[in-house]
Amino acid sequence: MSKLLDIDSISVSYGSIKALREVSLHVNEGEIVCLIGANGAGKSTLLKAIVALEPITHGSIAYQGQMIAQIDENGAKKKFGVPIRRSKGLSSNLRTDEIAGRGVALVPEGRRVFADMTVEENLDMGAFLVRDDELIARKKEEMYDFFPILGARRKQKTRSLSGGEQQMLAIARALMSSPRLLLLDEPGLGLAPLIIQDIFEKIHIINREDKVTVFLVEQNASIALKASNRGYVMENGVIVLSDFSTNLLENEKVRAAYLGDS
């Protein structure tokens, strides 16, 4: 398998607090990979760093074999290996929209749908980088077929949807850009168990049938590990374990800390 995403020793700080410390991991083409850990461990920060929403202070991020973020040991940002002037507030050589344009889509924690827009308008926002009106129309119909409840409510304001329906919309909005890599931040957050099961079944279909690689962050370790090929465990901004998900499910430390076993 080839590496689609390769993160090498990245750090992220909020003032004097190090949210991520020398984090390294990779996601191979075609995989579902999960990152588990307690609330506040730094999981969401990592996803934001991948799409240039948080500035890295050290390390590098490569996507499809090309560097999209790199900070050398002296703190100088590099572009294609050449040091460049660092602008305050930027976290990557590529902007967020540029990374999205290369095929990376993020479904943020808490869904973050546009509450005063309709379902259809939210999907249109997901296709803001697409310049082909026929393709946009076709993608919307695909999303309505994949999530029938969204098709039935396409003209409704998003605020009227349930939490599960909003999560479906957030995923559909991300898929409107036809990503190669889908980043999911807590897709099961605040949802009933049956809805979570449905969401994760959809994630499997997206991975298997649409050939979309998935990197998901999830506090529900059990469902995340059962849904993924490989997993990483993060504590206090550090990767402390990595293995095949089946092995992590049987790991005594993981079972005690995240699966409720004593």
pLDDT in tens, 9-27: 999 998 888 999 999 999 9
pTM, entire model: 0.88
Separation between Cα atoms, residue 202 and residue 184, nearest integer Å: 12
Is residue 112 very low, low, confident or very high in pLDDT (cuts 50, 70, 90)?
confident
- Helix, strand, coil shares of the chain, percent, nearest 5, are 35, 30, 35
* 95 secondary structure, DSSP code: -
> Rounded to the nearest 5 degrees, what angle is found at the Cα of 169, between the Cα atoms of 167 and 171?
70
Is residue 91 very low, low, confident or very high in pLDDT (cuts 50, 70, 90)?
very low
**Residue 191 pLDDT exceeds 90:** no
- Mean pLDDT of the 83-107 span: 72
**β-strand pairing of 58-63 with 66-71:** antiparallel
* Residues 6 or more apart whose Cβ sits within 8 Å of residue 209: none
pLDDT of residue 136: 93
Number of domains making up the chain? 1
pLDDT in tens, 122-148: 999 998 888 888 999 999 999 999 999
**Residue 247 pLDDT exceeds 90:** yes
Tell me the three state secondary structure of residue 34: strand
- Domain residue limits at 209: 3-258
Tell me the three state secondary structure of residue 147: coil
Of 47, 62, 9, 26, nearest in space to 232 by CA: 26
**Residue 82 pLDDT exceeds 80:** no
Is residue 157 within 8 Å of residue 206, measured between CB atoms?
no
Separation between Cα atoms, residue 187 and residue 180, nearest integer Å: 18
Q: List beta partners, residue 78.
A: 83
CATH at 247: 3.40.50.300
- Mean pLDDT of the 171-176 span: 93
What is the percentage of the chain residues whose pLDDT exceeds 70?
91
Separation between Cα atoms, residue 233 and residue 218, nearest integer Å: 11
pLDDT of residue 74: 57
pLDDT of residue 77: 56
pLDDT in tens, 33-76: 999 999 889 999 999 999 999 989 999 999 999 999 998 655 55
- Mean pLDDT of the 3-10 span: 96
| Burial class, 195, CB count within 10 angstroms (exposed 0-12 / middle 13-18 / buried 19+) | middle
- Mean pLDDT of the 223-246 span: 96
> Which strand (E) or helix (H) includes residue 168?
helix 163-175
- Average pLDDT of the chain? 88
Separation between Cα atoms, residue 49 and residue 63, nearest integer Å: 13
* 85 secondary structure, DSSP code: P
- Mean pLDDT of the 91-117 span: 85
Is residue 42 within 8 Å of residue 234, measured between CB atoms?
yes
What is the percentage of the chain residues whose pLDDT exceeds 90?
68
Is residue 88 very low, low, confident or very high in pLDDT (cuts 50, 70, 90)?
very low
pLDDT of residue 261: 63
